Structure 1
Amino acid sequence: MSRQIFQLMVSLAGVRPRVWRRVLVPGGYTLDRLHRVLQHAMGWRDCHLHSFDVDGRQYGEPDPDGELALRDELDVRLDAVVGKGDRFRYTYDFGDWWEHDLVVEDVCAADPDERYPLCLDGERACPPEDVGGPGGYAVLLAALADPAHPEHAAMREWAGPAFDPAGFDPDRATVLLRRCC
């Protein structure tokens, strides 16, 4: 039997212009591995807590204090909880609250000549960590776009000279995915 590959469309909710990625992931990946794929495909640095919401069930790293009622993501395979056409949500950073909408666009047999995971496409850079969620990111984008903005210099320094909100390279994302996953 051939391995199943899930084609996922990942969109960052509440952000305009739209930030998105299309990735190919083995269906046998646990949600923990999918978390790592999403971190590297999007451009996050895995500095914060996260969770998945699949049909109202929450998955993530179990909370030793029991404050978060999460099922252990290490015990759950992607192909056991979603199929073609299904939608689910991934939330990263419970302070900034970055919600990612995921859609299983297709499920197909693995190409024996291909290595997975793979980032097929995407647009725009991921927001910087700790920018303040979608609202903070909108402020950052406005300040960076307008040299006359009172916060332009401070925001450019904070984001760093290499930060380009329009930039995204799917080949670089794939290299990162293959190193981590």
Structure 2
Amino acid sequence: MARPRVTTKTKIFRIEIVLVDVEPTVRRVVEVPGEASLAVLHEVVQDAMGWTNSHLHEFEIDGVRYGMPDPDFDTGTLDEARTKLFRVLTAGQDAGYVYDFGDNWHHVLVVDAVAAPEPGVRYPRCVEGQGACPPEDVGGVFGYPEFVDALTDPEHAEHVERVEWWGSDRFDPHYFDLAATDRTLERLAWAPLAGSSPTARS
């Protein structure tokens, strides 16, 4: 299947993603073509944050829920694959995104700006970030700090159990690698607008 193509008419949405009620702060800033569907935005959030897409998810925008509708149940959830980003969000607007209805990770997505694409630049891309993504199945915002405490404290009653579960006694909640995070989005790349990237110019 041919890759979607960025054109001169494409609008690029700069979106800040923040994981709610988690310390230290976990945030990413991504740039996504406005014609991308919410299903693609879901994949961008997963890759940029560092999740593994192993659980259910849902967007909420202006009180409307978007996700993967269940054909056997009418839940009122609209199909994210049929909903384009530019049709439901504008500059300054925010959206909710929940991942894993068990651990219940809440994210706030804020459209910081909508701008023209840069020639030669690959979109989607991650341009900023901080903080490590919590491990999957760690117990949400309440289980996460307990996991970090138990893992880093050899005297903690659950230290051995947590090390065995995680496979190591190392986890830095402040760690973030922008280059590595951005590389995860290469699989979603649109064909860029013709021209040279500003970073490639002398």
TM-score (normalised: structure 1): 0.94
What letter corresponds to residue 15 of structure 1 in structure 2?
V
Partner of 2:26: 19
CA deviations on 1:39-70 (whole Å, 9 max, x unpaired) are: 00001111111100000000000112215321
* Kept in 1: contact 2:124–2:188 (CA 8 A): no
Partner of 1:110: 117
User: Paired residue for 1:169, among 174, 177, 189?
Assistant: 177
Q: Give yes or no for the alignment of 1:160 onto 2:167.
A: yes
Evaluate the alpha carbon distance shift between residue 169 and residue 73 of structure 1 in structure 2; reply closer, same or farther with a 3 A threshold. same
* Kept in 1: contact 2:24–2:173 (CA 8 A): no
5+ long unaligned stretches in structure 2 = 1-7, 190-202
What letter corresponds to residue 20 of structure 2 in structure 1?
A
What letter corresponds to residue 175 of structure 1 in structure 2?
R
User: Paired residue for 1:72, among 66, 69, 79?
Assistant: 79
2:31 partner SS: strand
Partner of 2:39: 32
Q: Give yes or no for the alignment of 1:142 onto 2:144.
A: no
* Kept in 2: contact 1:144–1:152 (CA 8 A): yes
* Kept in 2: contact 1:6–1:104 (CA 8 A): yes
What letter corresponds to residue 169 of structure 1 in structure 2?
D
Evaluate the alpha carbon distance shift between residue 163 and residue 146 of structure 1 in structure 2; reply closer, same or farther with a 3 A threshold. closer
CA deviations on 1:96-151 (whole Å, 9 max, x unpaired) are: 11110110011110001200011111111111111111111121122223232111
* Kept in 2: contact 1:7–1:107 (CA 8 A): yes
- Structure 1 runs, 4 residues or longer, greater than 4 Å off: none
- Report the Cα offset of residue 77 of structure 1: 0.6
Who wins on radius of gyration, i.e. which is larger?
2
Distance 1:107 1:78 in 2: 11
* Kept in 2: contact 1:63–1:69 (CA 8 A): no
Distance 2:32 2:188 in 1: 13
5+ long unaligned stretches in structure 1 = none
Partner of 1:123: 130
1:150 partner SS: coil
Equivalences for 1:87-102 in 2 at 5 Å? 87-102=94-109
State the aligned residue count. Answer: 181
RMSD: 1.4
1:28 partner SS: coil
Partner of 1:83: 90
